[in-house]
């Protein structure tokens, strides 16, 4: 695209001064070098993630089991939400490249339009990430750990001997009340007799949830549902500690904390890049709108922020693969 006319000059002439040996301006060059260093940072984070995962003695959760919810819908939709986020980011990358292309034609109207589309795409992505974080932090029904060894038969007929410390996952409504119960909320009462475990919350509206099913081995190799008397056996063997969602100290997705910490750090660091990208895009959008680049007779600033914005997309492609897919 740039400087093709100089491709065949000798190196003495090329580096002899008076022209750009790389065929680009210093601004674009520095953006490239910044991106190289930033890419090394993300490369380091993902490598550390891979190492922690391979070195972990506890099982590591599986992406399509942890991330399988859609806003406002019941049921499981593995990876669909993350795929949607990826698609949003790819589309906003495309609108950015169209803004750059329009800049090369000095078409101010199109530049402004495509920059606006890019900003909207970025805001959509940030919003999606906020929802995903919120969902990750609040979690599903929550889990408790076993205080003693239990032998049970799962609903599919296979028999399991579960060791002390095995995590058992509750269904959503039961988990909600169990959280209040474990936090010492006096309005939640436990009723347990003859194979019935019920939690009842008295208040303005009385909530009642009966223990129907518990899930073992969730987020690990295979998910098994347990109900009936065996579910009560698991409930009776519970330790006092419950985990709901994730925070900086514990999480319901894995026995070790590295998983949640890497989730917060890697997606958070990437999200911060998206946030700053949107801010920079807004600045360039305003400059383009006010005709600053039209007066300069070139839209190279759009190209520079474009490089940064594509880089964000590039990083997400890797985060998507290594954090969610593999």
Partner 1 sequence: MERDDLIVNDSYSLNAHHSEEEGVKIRKKILFVTVLLTAITAVEVAMGIIFKRAETFSWEVIKWTFVALTLVKAGYIVLSFMHLGEERSNLKKTILTPYLLFIVYLVYVVVTEGFGHLFNHNNFH
Restricting to residues 298-317, name those near partner 1 by CB under 8 A.
298, 300, 303, 306-307, 310-311, 313-314, 317
| CB closer to partner 1 out of 94 and 116 | 94
- Contact with partner 1 (CB under 8 A): which of 94, 117, 120, 123? 94
Are the beta carbons of 104 and 134 closer than 8 angstroms?
Answer: no
For residue 295, state whether it binds partner 1 (rule: CB under 8 A): yes
The site string for partner 1 over 151-190 (x = CB under 8 A, - otherwise) reads ----------------------------------------
For residue 28, state whether it binds partner 1 (rule: CB under 8 A): yes
The site string for partner 1 over 235-264 (x = CB under 8 A, - otherwise) reads ------------------------------
Torsion-angle region of 152 (φ positive above 0: left; ψ -120 to 50: alpha; else: beta): beta
Footprint of partner 1 on residues 98-137 (CB under 8 A)? 98, 100-102, 104-106
Number of residues that bind partner 1 (CB under 8 A): 74
| CB closer to partner 1 out of 211 and 274 | 274
| CB closer to partner 1 out of 42 and 169 | 42
- Contact with partner 1 (CB under 8 A): which of 8, 26, 186, 240? 26
């Amino acid at each position: 695209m740039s400087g093709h006319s100089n491709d065949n000059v000798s190196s003495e002439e090329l580096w002899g001064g008076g022209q750009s040996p790389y065929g680009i301006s210093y601004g674009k060059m520095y953006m490239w070098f910044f991106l190289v260093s930033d890419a090394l940072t993300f490369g380091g984070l993902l490598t550390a993630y891979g190492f922690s995962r391979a070195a972990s003695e506890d099982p590591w959760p599986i992406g399509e089991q942890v991330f399988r919810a859609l806003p406002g819908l019941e049921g499981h939709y593995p990876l669909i939400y993350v795929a949607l986020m990826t698609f949003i980011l790819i589309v906003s990358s495309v609108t950015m490249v169209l803004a750059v292309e329009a800049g090369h034609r000095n078409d101010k109207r199109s530049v402004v339009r495509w920059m606006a589309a890019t900003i909207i795409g970025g805001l959509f992505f940030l919003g999606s990430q906020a929802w995903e974080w919120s969902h990750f932090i609040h979690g599903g029904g929550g889990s408790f750990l076993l205080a003693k060894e239990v032998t049970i038969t799962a609903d599919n007929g296979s028999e399991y001997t579960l060791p002390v410390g095995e995590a058992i996952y509750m269904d959503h409504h039961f988990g909600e009340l169990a959280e209040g119960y474990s936090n010492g909320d006096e309005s939640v009462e436990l009723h347990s007799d003859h194979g019935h475990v019920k939690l009842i919350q008295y208040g303005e509206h009385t909530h009642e949830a009966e223990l129907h099913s518990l899930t073992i081995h969730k987020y690990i190799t295979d998910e098994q549902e347990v109900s009936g008397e065996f579910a009560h056996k698991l409930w009776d063997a519970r330790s006092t500690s419950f985990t709901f969602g994730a925070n900086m100290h514990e999480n319901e997705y894995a026995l070790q904390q590295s998983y949640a910490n890497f989730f917060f750090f890697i997606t958070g660091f990437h999200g911060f890049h998206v946030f700053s990208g949107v801010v920079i895009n807004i600045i360039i959008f305003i400059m383009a709108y006010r005709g600053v680049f039209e007066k300069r007779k070139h839209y190279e600033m759009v190209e520079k922020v474009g490089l940064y914005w594509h880089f964000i997309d590039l990083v997400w492609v890797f985060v998507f693969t290594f954090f969610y897919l593999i």
